Structure 1
């Protein structure tokens, strides 16, 4: 049993260090067309991590794989395959570590086998669901950051329109000023719309639905009025930017109020525990007397 526990610990350590090792370059993928060599099939071009993710997505229940929406994955800039691999790696590592610890507990503490297996199963389930919860939290944070970037983008569009720039030019010039990931995403969408012969405000509306950021759709609708009907949208853009800033300030104040409330509850709990610790010896003395 000790040998099995040591082997499991070694396997867990190997699995932990394996992603940190440099990958071997696959020179066959860089071969020129027509060069001699074996033909590369689509399945052979996938890495073993991607193949494991594809197998899991094909055979495991959808409720276990699709715990995170496509919009959350898109706003985080990742794919379903990468996210699934993170879940597989964490669950497999926890399974190996849990089994090795259960073997040690059976050898040294005579823990029942069924209890150790139940504990390992619960830990594996928690680790499997952990990346989903963390990704949702990061996606919410990314949407708030994107909304702040949209507020700045609206002000920049208003400045461009005040200089009598065309709607399409105003959208592109305003997006070219920022360097954050949100501005880069907007620029990519505008470039795609230009080459796809799609109106830029239509592309931004689609991006807002794709990322679930409604503020960008509001800005796109205002620019649609200018592009389709030739309306003057300087004042509507300034009003929209002002409303976005006020709303974000109110949301930030609400979050700070909620955080301060949680801190008060923690302080009250600590004070209650300290009071119980101080009064317990006195109560025991009175009872014994």
Structure 2
């Protein structure tokens, strides 16, 4: 990379940073909902910082590595809390990310802080390695740290998103299985003569598994708020981006007054979810079998090459 290209790239990066800084500093006129959300976020921020300060005051003085880790944890908590308030003030929707975080039970600020820290660490890793190698006498061009730092920083900023998508997909798959079991339990409670709200709450109280706990909390909150249980289930399905729960809430809302039909509908829906889950499991097993077969073929090929290489080498040397 010649000096002109390096200067152009540096100017583009500086301009991009200036635009991002101005976008973060310029505050639009907030609406009433944004002001209320800002107040709630700042109250949560104050509560979090206060609890962290009390925990630090009551704990013994940290020394060495444990003290550094505790200080890093407090700094990460403060950064996560600040980013939580900032995202609320700016009105960042982040619908898919918030749905994934809701499934995993994580905060938005914690995830944003992880992205920022990972990006900064990898961004600074390239210049540090470059200076160390130059100090050892390794000849390196001057444009390598900037381009490599940008690539590593972008990768560090995006890797938490990939990990979040993977973990959220696994949790949603577990939640879909629980929705099928929950539908069967509701159908059995309805067959036992219970009303629909009682059947829903009783079915969600049979276990303390995390998915049933989320359903039970939603149903209890609906009872306290005076809304219908199926509306609460629909809101929970929209929050977690679980289409099966939203479909179940829609079926309950349509057939809330007809016990016989809702029992048959719930039984059919549970059977459909079981068949779909079985098909997914069989597909995953087939993919793993194929990957194992490919690995075995590669291993056998490498072993055959290892055995045949000396003979082929001697044959070519004598010829």
Same structural fold, with TM-score higher than 0.5 when normalized by the shorter chain:
yes
Give CA-to-partner distance per residue, 1:192-225, whole Å, 9 cap, x none. Answer: 2222222111221222222222222333234334
Question: Judging changes above 3 Å, is the alpha-carbon distance between structure 1 residues 17 and 131 closer, same or farther for their aligned structure 2 residues?
Answer: farther
The 5 A counterparts of 1:1-289 are 17-18=68-69, 23=74, 47-51=78-82, 69-108=97-136, 109-288=138-317, 289=319
Query: Structure 1 residue 123: deviation in Å?
Result: 2.2
Cα 1:209–1:260, aligned 2, differ >3 Å: closer, same or farther?
same
* Residues 205, 220 of structure 1: 8 Å contact kept: yes
Instruction: Go from structure 1 to structure 2 and tell me whether the alpha carbon gap of 1:187 and 1:128 turns closer, same or farther (over 3 Å shift).
Output: same
> 3-state DSSP class of the match of 2:286?
helix
Q: Distance in 1 between matches of 2:89 and 2:182?
A: 41
- Report if the CA contact (8 A) 1:167-1:226 is conserved: no
Q: Distance in 1 between matches of 2:250 and 2:122?
A: 49
Find the residue that maps to 1:179 and give its secondary structure: coil
Q: Which residue of 2 aligns with 1:34?
A: none
Structure 1 residues 80 and 204 mapped into 2: Cα distance closer, same or farther (>3 Å)? Answer: same
| Whole-angstrom CA distance in 1 between matches of 2:87 and 2:195 | 50
In the TM superposition, residue 68 of structure 1 has moved relative to its aligned partner by: 5.1
Residue 256 of structure 2 aligns to a residue whose secondary structure is helix
For residues 286 and 167 of structure 1, the distance between their equivalents in structure 2, rounded to whole angstroms, comes to: 82
Gaps of 5+ in 2: 1-64
Deviations 1:73-108, CA, capped at 9 Å, x for gaps: 221222332211111111222233333222111121
**CA contact under 8 A between 1:72 and 1:136: conserved in structure 2?**
yes
Q: CA deviation at 1:54?
A: 5.8
Q: How many residue pairs were aligned?
A: 251
Distance, in Å, in 2 between the alignment partners of 1:146 and 1:168 is 21
- Match in the other structure for 1:28: none
In 1, distance between residues paired with 2:122 and 2:70? 16
Larger deviation, residues 267-276 vs 245-254: 267-276
CA contact (8 A) 2:124 2:149 kept: no
- How big is the alpha-carbon RMSD for the aligned residues of Structure 1 and Structure 2? 3.2
Mark the CA change 1:102 to 1:58 in structure 2 (over 3 Å): closer, same or farther. Answer: farther
- Deviation of 1:160 after TM superposition, in Å, equals 1.0
Distance apart, 1:18 and its partner CA: 4.3
Q: Which has the higher contact order (CA 8 A, sep 6+)?
A: 1
User: TM-score with structure 2 length normalisation?
Assistant: 0.68
Deviation at 1:275, TM superposition (A): 3.3
Question: Offset of 1:281 from its aligned partner?
Answer: 4.2
